[in-house]
Amino acid sequence: MMLEVRDLVTAYGQSLVIQGISLDVTTGEVVCLLGRNGAGKTTTLRSIMGLTPPRAGRVIFKGKEITGRQPFEIARLGVGYAPDDRRIFPDLTVEENLEIVRRVTGREGRWTVERVYQLFPLLPGLRGNRGIGLSGGEQKMLAIGRALMGNPTLLILDEPSEGLSPLMVHTLVEAIRQIRQEGVTLLLADQNLKFARRVADRGYIIEKGTIRYSGRLDDLWADQEIVRKYLAV
Ligand SMILES: Nc1ncnc2c1ncn2[C@@H]1O[C@H](COP(=O)(O)OP(=O)(O)O)[C@@H](O)[C@H]1O
Ligand SMILES: [Mg+2]
């Protein structure tokens, strides 16, 4: 098992946002958290990463409890994270944004700047451009590439398809398939079931901080009642 989340409870002040979520990600899988805006997807991922520590529950990564650890420790153990707001360094170039990760996580491995450029063919032409001038889609690709530079065994992506053009979504789907072929396990959060079906095997629907559905995405797609109830756009 790559990741086990057990009875996770997370609050912002008095407001209980995650109300006892449990989920599993098996080694080699691509799993997607689905749910409308405000459902609790980002907070779940932030709790796993230690950015918003949970009030209760456990997070177990490769058999080892990581609940409440510092984000940099969790990254060093091999969990990569591309947040929904991307956090690209605006004054660094594309290439510097990628290079800096190796120094921070200190995890040697197979991912290099050149391999990230192969995955996202849009990036090499921008290698000397500063982060501040990139489009939203370009920043998304760079944020995923940057997370890969830490050589994660588990890669967590928050809303990877959000705001991407159809062509960029195609690139992203291909990239995720290749990342998986390299042996990286993925946990995504996304609102777009059509996109999720192209890359993920299994998923969970979150609503009001609770899991409402768990299963294969093809089965979910066939159940339009659930889709309308929890996901409809
Ligand atoms: N920093 C914060 N402070 C207070 N409430 C927050 C904060 N971030 C998110 N929330 C609230 O927590 C709930 C879940 O949000 P979030 O995890 O971002 O959902 P999602 O990623 O599914 O859109 C929402 O009601 C949101 O308003
Ligand atoms: Mg979110």
* Mean pLDDT on 57-73: 96
Distance from Cα 159 to the centre of ligand 1, integer Å:
14
Q: Nearest C-alpha to atom 8 of ligand 1 is from which residue?
A: 43
* Mean pLDDT on 62-71: 96
Distance from Cα 151 to the centre of ligand 1, integer Å:
29
Query: Is the CB of residue 42 below 6 angstroms from any atom belonging to ligand 1?
Result: yes
Q: What percent of the chain has pLDDT over 70?
A: 99
Going by C-alpha positions, the residue among 71, 59, 57, 52 that lies closest to residue 24 is: 59
Contacts of 124 (CB under 8 A, 6+ apart): 117
Query: Is the CB of residue 39 below 6 angstroms from any atom belonging to ligand 1?
Result: yes
Going by C-alpha positions, the residue among 158, 219, 227, 214 that lies closest to residue 186 is: 158
Rounded Cα distance, 187 and 182, in Å: 15
pLDDT for 38 equals: 96
Distance from Cα 207 to the centre of ligand 2, integer Å:
12
Q: What is the pLDDT of residues 84-130, one digit of tens each?
A: 988 899 999 999 999 988 777 767 788 999 999 999 999 999 999 99
Count of alpha carbons within 13 angstroms of residue 188, beta-carbon side: 30
Rounded Cα distance, 181 and 115, in Å: 14
Q: What is the pLDDT of residues 145-169, one digit of tens each?
A: 999 999 999 999 999 999 999 999 9
Q: Residue 220: which H helix or E strand, with range?
A: helix 217-222
Is the pLDDT higher at 1 or at 85? 1
Rounded Cα distance, 51 and 68, in Å: 9
Q: What is the pLDDT of residues 3-55, one digit of tens each?
A: 999 999 999 999 999 999 999 999 999 999 999 999 999 999 999 999 999 99
CA distances from 194 to 13, 221, 222, 224 (A): 35, 9, 12, 13
Tell me the pairing of strands 3-12 and 15-25: antiparallel
Two structure tokens written together for 163: 């705001």
- Are 38 and 206 spatial neighbours (Cβ–Cβ below 8 Å)? no
Instruction: Determine the residue type at 80.
Output: G
Task: State the architecture of 3-230 in CATH terms.
Answer: 3-Layer(aba) Sandwich (3.40)
pLDDT for 107 equals: 74
Residue extents of the structural domains in the chain: 3-230
Contacts of 229 (CB under 8 A, 6+ apart): none
Asked whether the CA dihedral 99, 105, 107, 111 is positive or negative, the reply is: negative
Is the pLDDT higher at 172 or at 105? 172
Q: Which atom of ligand 1 is nearest to the CA of 191?
A: 22
Query: Is the CB of residue 72 below 6 angstroms from any atom belonging to ligand 1?
Result: no
Q: How many CB atoms lie within 10 A of CB 93?
A: 16
Tell me the pairing of strands 154-158 and 185-190: parallel
CA-CA-CA-CA dihedral for 204, 199, 188, 116, to nearest 10 = 170
- Are 45 and 189 spatial neighbours (Cβ–Cβ below 8 Å)? yes
Q: What is the average pLDDT value for the chain, to the nearest integer?
A: 95
